[in-house]
Structure 1
Amino acid sequence: MKLNYFKSKLFIKYILSYLFMLLVPLVLLSVIIYNSAVSDLRSEIEQSHFNQLFQAKTIIDSHMKQLSDTASQVAYDEQLAKYRVHDPYYSLEAITALKKYKATSPIVSEMFLFFHNDESIYSSAGMTGLNVFNNKYNFKGWKPDEIVKDLNTVKYPVVRPTTLIGRNPTTSGTENVLAYLEPITPNNPNPYGTIMYLIRESELTGLIDSIIGNYQGSSYIFDNRGLVLASNSNLEKPLDSGTLRSLCDLSTGIHSVKLNGEPHSVVSVKSYRNGWDYVTLMPSSQFLSNVLHIRNLMLLMFSIVAVCGAAVAIILARKQFHPIIDLVEFANSKSKVGGVQAEPHMAGDELARIRTALQEYSSRADLQEPYARNQFLLMLLKYGNALSISKELQGSFDIRFDKAYHFAMMIGRDSVPEDHLDAHDWQTMIEQLAKVEFPELAACVYGVELPKPSQMALIVNFDLLEGMSDIDQYHGIVQKVHDNIVGLFRLDPVIGVGACYPDPDQLNQSFIEACSAFESRMFSGHGSITFFESLTSTPGETLWVPSSLLLKLSQSLKQGSYEVAAQTISEGMNYFQNPDLSVKLKRCVYFDILNTMLKTGLELGIDNLTADISMYDASNSLEELKLHFLSLASRLCAIVERKEKTEEHSLIEQVITYIDSHYMDHSLSLEMVACKYSISVSYFSRFFKEQMGINFVQYIWQKRMNAVINELVTTNDPLKDIIQRVGYLDTPNFIRKFKKETGLTPGQYRKLYSHAEGDDVSEDLTHSEL
């Protein structure tokens, strides 16, 4: 059957990738040209905008200066003197004069003259009493008594933005105005009156708009206190006070600001005459509309290149796609989907199949890597033979034995920690000591977690430093490890240290020695660090086997390490060759070695070793004695290994029995079970997964899930009580997980499968589940 390439998503991706490579240079070039055009145009428009706003500022400043000059002229105009204004004969001249002054300013809609403590106010329309004035001019937010107070007390020019509401009873509209109060005489600390100009807000903003020209923006005028004097906003959403304040605080120039989620070009100009700020906002999208023809040209170019490139991309993609098809067929041949062999070609899903296959292998490797690494190091400590392991395998575990000297250390504590935080610190220490380097001592340390809780081993490799003896460097490394553990992990460790060897194949001997030193410290109290070579000697040991050698023999048998036991027995047999040793003393040496092995067997629970033991006789050759000891050691080590496997099977049976009887206890945890059976948490986790095929949490969930299902179909008990009874306290989370696994909520499951008579699930339960 011919494969339809275009049904494959991966094939389409190949085509798109070639098009992408083809179009990238053009896209980059086009973007550079387009951005350059937009940037240049924007700079040109913004600079023109700035110049026009500066011009508008200059014109408004000149108008405001003209109002100040008018106030000065009024102050010295005899026609507007107080006595003439109040004189009925000259009052008409005063009104005519006010009309003349009002006409000189194009931005003033009305002009008023007020003398302090007077009951009347004068305008171009005539004299009006204050009561009549307040009835005619109703200002929003500016009460009549405040108006009178300001007219009587103002000593400096003041601008007050307000809203004029209804000039007369027949008018109901509103108009935003500026009330500009100028004292007379100006610049006099004791003015005798006030001129009030009413300026429409639209006059100022219209002036700005007429100068700037065609733009779809907003304009604002702020006073020296940051208040908005006039505004003409085209924004859909009004700006809040904080944003307005930030606009007022902008320095003179051109700025880019984001307002209401849209980028704007902001031009700000400050007037140093009266402290006012003139600000205009222009949406950045306006600049793009001016280069629309360039964008259209580029789109046309893209279309032409894409069509031409698509043909080339299809040809190249077909050539490159054939190896992928072969790889998919291989992945399908090695994998099954839902228990059924995968289809030869899963159209559109080739990459997913390859990825799934790789993820399956990768996840298995990732899950097993820590366990495999630790198991590899455990076997190395037990059997040695480091050099026989390939460099590739060592490299995959990030382990190297290329240094000059090697030794092992045993780290633990006197008792298993019961406190959770203390146990957590111990586990953290194990993780962080997986690999540690001490460059100053040319040493590299690898951590090995042991099955017993609160015990771990360290494998140390180091090169000799110039000017330092091997003993000093050896002791320095041990002390450095001890200090790091005490300083970083708040733990006070017990450390046993094995002898140092030049061959990594002898690490198993060093580990047995470290265990012996560790055990010796535990029973005799040699301090927090005990070196195997410094164990206390017994007087007269020069005549027979030293106690340290017997300790090493005992420990090797306990660990089931026949290689180390055989090496130790060979070392012990050398003492039979001492010419100063009498036959009686040789018998003592024989019984020392034999009793050590028998005592170790009894400690391990092996009590049937004496049946095949032949007594020492002077006619026995050393070779016969050695073979006899090796045979006994081999038997002991084999029994230890069989016992370990039996204990593993027995242990998992005990653990499963315990879990099956306590899974309804909500406090049941991995840590609690590991502590109960005296196993390290991480070792127990891996051991449980290896024996059961699923992890601890999944096993507990399955037990509780099955218990809930059983009670759902056999009882009418409320769901919450059932869930809590099986040890699950988080009811909503349980319901979500239940539905994810079964496709039904517990209530729906009960309705479908319940066999209990009169089964009734409440509506409240159903609603809570959903």
Structure 2
Amino acid sequence: MRKLLSRNHIRLYLWVGIVLTIIIVPFSLFLSNQFSKYAYSQMDLFNQDKIVRTASRTEFILNKLKAYGLNMYENRYIQEWLQLDRFDPLADMEALNTLTNFMSTEPFIQRAYMINLQTRQVFDSQTGVVTFDAFGDGPMLKKVQEQQPLFLQFFPHEVGGVSHLALIVLSTPAKKDNRGYLVLLLDNRALQNDLLDHNKELGTDILVLDEKGRNVLGGTESQSGIVTMLRGMKPASSGTPVIDIGGGQRLFVNSAPLPSQKWTVYSLTELKSFKSQAESFQRRIVGYSILLLVLLLAAALWNSRRTIKPFRNLAEQLQRKFNNDPAVPAGQVPIQDEYSILKHGIEQLSNRVDEMNVSLRDHHHMVKTEYMRQWLLQGRMSRTMRDGIAIATDLFDWEYLRLVVVKIESYHEFVDGYDFASRRLLKYAMCNIAEETVRGEGGALEAIDLAGDHIVFLIGLDCSEAEMKTLLETIKRHIRKYVRLNVVVAISDAKHREDDLRSVYDFVHELTLLKFISGSDRIYTENDYERYVQMMQPQSELKSVDKLLAAVKAGKKEQAALLLDELFSQLAAMKLSECKVQLTVMLFAIVKEFDKLSALQGVDGIDKQLARFPTLQDLRRWLEQELLDIMNRLNSRQGSDRKEKLAEEMIAYIDYHIHDPMLSAEDVAQHVSLSAKYVRQIFMETQNQPLSAYMLNRRIDKVKELLVTTTISVSDIGERSGFLTKSHFFTAFKKATGMTPNQYRQQHS
């Protein structure tokens, strides 16, 4: 093969050179031409934007001067002077002071007249009070006397060989008689310096023409020919108009209107310098492209001698790996066999890729589990969540679903008997039993484990409520037989898959507590709850029940005993029927608060339990012993090893519920049946950080993961990571990372 390379590498190099030349040279010419067109268009856009902003600023300044003139005209002293019917030196002095103050605060006003038609006097800001006969600006006086001024419109006016923009106040459309007028003469040079001359740095001249085509602002005497061309120029059918002013000079013409004045602002841009720069840049593009071509050809010439070597080495390595006879020296590999060796290696690699794809498909289960938890805890699905679940499960083949909660009885014994990993395996077995049973009936089931004392099933199956109960009884019987756990099962009515799943879950979870009241080992439905609503809302409530629960959590045995005495003294004063109802409520509150620790959870009905005790004192002693057992279980968790296990259980619970925006330290405390204060203390001792900080950091980590690995919108990521509001999400993320979510995604993508 080396000999083959030495014979053909020049031929290969020549072919590569021809191909590169054919590609690069035409492309560089095309690129330079496109750049020229783009540069011209950008210059046009830039000039148009510039002239529009200049027109807008000019319009603003002129309107401001109109308002200023009206304000001057309405001044009391100026009005008094304009309305005089006789000579008054005191009014002259007041008008002079007022006019001076006004003009000192507005640099664009160079001169002002006050014309009194009744006294036939003119107050000139430069010369003082003069009669009409002695007034030096006869054309302005004639314009005012003949009632010809337009309504608050500036017009060109020349005084002593100096051009001004003039404004007559108060002129009206109806040309009503006025006894006096205020005339403002603007400083055209100041206006031009402020509004127009800053464009000359960019090689652009600005002209302002009125409706008659007269130059009212900007320009020079040498541009009179250009003004004539602009006056007769017709709108261009496409693009920006270009005028030829002779001598090989061409100008881009952009324009913008001044609606209040019926004027037009024009910008004139020299093309010559820009065209030379564009052509110079085009030549540089072509030159650099040719240089690139030479460098590529040189690299191809150098690399052509090394092209075959890696393939040969690869073939030799593959032959040593796949050849059945290792005694054959690698250097003696026939040339014609190397192709088959490489082909065989590629086939082996393809097989490995297929195996990897199978492994990657297994990750769909993890994604599905994550989405199912989000759906349950947040209540509703986003589009991305729905698509992810639909890919991994056939649950969406059913429009209506049923939610089932399977709760493990005597959960404290379950926790004491198995470590965390074993508990997960047993729950996994329960999920498999349920899934196999439902799929055997032609339905679909997805299980959601929230790291607590229960598992949630979502079932899609077309059947009646009685048939569903029978199916769940079968699942319950199999769990008891194969996993050896007693469970309480509650089921919702058929719900549309777009309903709020979180509220359904909370309600069905409450249904599992009804076994403590009824003692019936059956499947609980939504209809069962209504039977006990009245029982759980007695006419009078026992006092101190909440204090008793707080004392048990705090491990205060003496205080708990005193509170029990107080509660049972209240019970002794009631009728028998009311006493039984109050006892039911009290015991139900204890079970609900300590369901993961209390042995009461396994009691088959409150009525049967109460029937065991002939007197209230017997019941009190039994209940006191149960509460002491609960407090002892809580105290046993205070050892260092036990604290570590509790911290692990808290962390697992947080990870499973991180999508829940309502997750709090109180929820974690309820999960481990401890007070929120003690839970925070344990977490701080074992993890060296506050519990709230850990939950926030886990949410931030979740956001980072989704930003980098997905294309989900930032707002959806914040909601999916458990942030309650967008403002809290953005503030917390910026504080933790120093950048916004979009900046983080761009930096780490």
TM-score (norm 1): 0.31
- Structure 1 or 2: larger helix share? 2
Greater gyration radius: 1
Q: Which has the higher contact order (CA 8 A, sep 6+)?
A: 2
